[in-house]
Amino acid sequence: MVRITALEREGKLGYPIIAINNAKTKHLFDNRYGTGQSTFDGILRATALLIAGKKVVVVGYGWVGKGVAKRASGLGAKVTVVEIDPIKALEAYLDGFEVMSIRDAAAGGEIFITCTGMKGVIPYSSIELMREGAILSNAGHFDVEIDTKTLLGKAKSVRPVRPNVDEVVLPDGKRVYLLAKGRIVNLVAAEGHPPEVMQMSFANQFMSALYVLQNHSSLVTRVLDVPVEIESQVALATLDSLGITIDRATKAQLKYAESWMI
């Protein structure tokens, strides 16, 4: 999303793009519930650790971070959130999590999970402050969220100790454990999201492709949202597949919603 918007800003888009990740029926569910669950699937398959009682540091409190923090908390972890957006930081605090800078969180955390889409959110200077045995994992973007380049470049030694777990010995002799080489842990060490949540993302992609086929002549070369009608259709079809029927607003309610009169 960030990169496609940057291309649009510089006038370098070659054709209209529908941003599936902007769809509520994508990020509210796939990013939050899908990644929230499958990240722990990956961490647990890789490490076989007990999460209860562990100090988990979640870096980024967007949709992915919210899902990961909630699952960590549900498994009994003590959760700290690191954010740069003051509103999301406040939201994390009021959701019941400790909030602090990565530098302050570094020394206390036992399991670190990056969820930002940004590079270098766990810099090497913070890794140096971590306790012996700290676990580093990424649930966000490519293998750039944790500064693995400097970590591996400065390491005294690196050796695999389990599938998808590398023991990295720092110059001072301290050991930290890097999961999935800093790549997305739920995809590398587990199977990604359950199909039950991916079906909404795929439905958005399919319906949007159909929309482009039917409307390409009138689409402008910009980053476009998934049309709201498609979003509603995807949500209703998902509810239907779950056997859930919801109410519709009555004509009187629709009229009331459009009026300024009480």
Closest CA to 72 of 99, 127, 112: 112
In whole angstroms, the minimum distance from the beta carbon of 103 to ligand NAD comes to 11
In whole angstroms, the minimum distance from the beta carbon of 188 to ligand NAD comes to 10
In whole angstroms, the minimum distance from the beta carbon of 157 to ligand NAD comes to 29
Does position 85 bind ligand NAD by CB under 6 A?
yes
In whole angstroms, the minimum distance from the beta carbon of 72 to ligand NAD comes to 15
Its sign, for the CA torsion 65, 67, 68, 71, is positive
Residue with tokens 């370098």: 12
Does position 59 bind ligand NAD by CB under 6 A?
yes
Does position 183 bind ligand NAD by CB under 6 A?
no
Comparison of 63 and 112: residue with beta carbon closer to ligand NAD: 63
25, 31, 37, 164: residue in contact with ligand NAD (rule CB under 6 A): 31
**Among 81-89, 158-166, 171-179, 209-217, the segment contacting ligand NAD (CB under 6 A):** 81-89
**Among 6-14, 134-142, 203-211, 228-236, the segment contacting ligand NAD (CB under 6 A):** 134-142
**Among 59-67, 155-163, 165-173, 227-235, the segment contacting ligand NAD (CB under 6 A):** 59-67
Alpha-carbon distance of 180 to 188, in angstroms, equals 6
Q: What is the 3-state secondary structure (H, E, C) of the chain?
A: CHHHHHHHHCCCCCCCEEEHHHCHHHHHHHHHHHHHHHHHHHHHHHHCCCCCCCEEEEECCCHHHHHHHHHHHHCCCEEEEECCCHHHHHHHHHCCCEECCHHHHHHHCCEEEECCCCCCCECHHHHCCCCCCCEEEECCCCCCCECHHHHHHHCCEEEEEECCEEEEECCCCCEEEEEHHHCEHHHHCCCCCCHHHHHHHHHHHHHHHHHHHHHHHHCCCCEEECCHHHHHHHHHHHHHHCCCCCCCCCHHHHHHHHCCCC
Does position 115 bind ligand NAD by CB under 6 A?
yes
Q: Which residue is nearest to ligand NAD (CB)?
A: 62
18, 20, 56, 64: residue in contact with ligand NAD (rule CB under 6 A): 64
Alpha-carbon distance of 75 to 135, in angstroms, equals 17
Comparison of 88 and 162: residue with beta carbon closer to ligand NAD: 88
**Among 105-113, 133-141, 157-165, 219-227, the segment contacting ligand NAD (CB under 6 A):** 133-141
Its sign, for the CA torsion 18, 195, 47, 83, is positive
Does position 181 bind ligand NAD by CB under 6 A?
no
Does position 43 bind ligand NAD by CB under 6 A?
no
In whole angstroms, the minimum distance from the beta carbon of 77 to ligand NAD comes to 18
Does position 229 bind ligand NAD by CB under 6 A?
no
Residues near ligand NAD (CB under 6 A): 27, 30-31, 35, 59-65, 82-85, 88, 115-118, 121, 139-141, 184, 186
